[in-house]
Structure 1
């Protein structure tokens, strides 16, 4: 008896997980000297391999609804080493063991500190799933174009 031939697309669908989620402790920088801790979650999905999402639960936001920011994984990768970003999301190292993430919106700016070690662990996990420079191999352009066309109608 011969083993069945499995196509590469089938292997990818059979993978245990294509999504990485990691809870992190963020410290909101506020005008008061105390920096309250807020929960946050980093998300990475192999189907959107260039992006990282950081979400904040409803109780931690001024609006009382979950807030999330999506930005380039590369921005986070470089931001733990040096200041990067000139748009809505900016990232830079802060001291020995913290990284600052700034989120700029019309309503204002949120600045949070996250332990650099937590960010590096998350980035290591994403790179194990989709190595840097190989993101394009995980993009389904036909599916994305079909979704874009469906939304346009």
Structure 2
């Protein structure tokens, strides 16, 4: 059974310049970490020249396609009829990207087929996770 979903999306970087360049990004979901999604940006699209990946709650993305969500490092909100804004806040600055809402909904539907919303806790093995933490502490 597949436990990982990856979907390429087209993101538009919002910058001070009037032109909004398109950058590739990849959404990633792994049922072994059922509460999280990741969004990766390739090295040419970042100021540091290295791939950057952000992890955040799948619930945040789910809520954010319909109404403003998040008040931390990652914030998501609808923008017009067919776009969603994702803001990534870091000490170095803030990156703001627009992504087609339809692409995000498609990704979220795929993750919900793999792990239905509200059932994430059923995939966690708390005993194994605790044992791993204890091994690392020694």
Per the shorter chain, which TM-score range?
Answer: over 0.9
What pairs with 1:44-55 in structure 2 (closer than 5 Å)?
Answer: 44-55=29-40
What TM-score do you get using the length of structure 2 for normalisation? 0.96
- RMSD (Å) for aligned C-alpha atoms: 0.9
Moved more, 87-96 or 142-151: 142-151
Deviations 1:79-136 (A, max 9, x none): 0000010000000000000000000000000000000000000000000000011000
- Name the CA distance, whole Å, in 2 between partners of 1:35 and 1:150: 48
- Name the CA distance, whole Å, in 1 between partners of 2:121 and 2:68: 26
Aligned length: 138
- Name the CA distance, whole Å, in 2 between partners of 1:143 and 1:20: 24
Which of 76, 82, 86 is 1:91 aligned to? 76
Cα deviation for residue 142 of structure 1 reads 2.4
Hey, what does 2:96 align to over in structure 1?
A: 111
Hey, what does 2:52 align to over in structure 1?
A: 67
Task: Determine helix, strand or coil for the equivalent of 1:54.
Answer: strand
- Name the CA distance, whole Å, in 2 between partners of 1:150 and 1:62: 37
- Name the CA distance, whole Å, in 2 between partners of 1:65 and 1:121: 28
Unaligned regions of 5+ residues in structure 1, if any? 1-14
Unaligned regions of 5+ residues in structure 2, if any? none
Which of 90, 108, 112 is 1:127 aligned to? 112
Deviations 1:65-84 (A, max 9, x none): 11010000000000000001
Task: Determine helix, strand or coil for the equivalent of 2:32.
Answer: coil
Q: Which has the higher strand share?
A: 2
What TM-score do you get using the length of structure 1 for normalisation? 0.87
Task: Determine helix, strand or coil for the equivalent of 2:62.
Answer: helix
Q: Which runs of 4+ in 1 moved over 6 A?
A: none
Hey, what does 1:152 align to over in structure 2?
A: 137
Select the structure of larger CA radius of gyration.
1
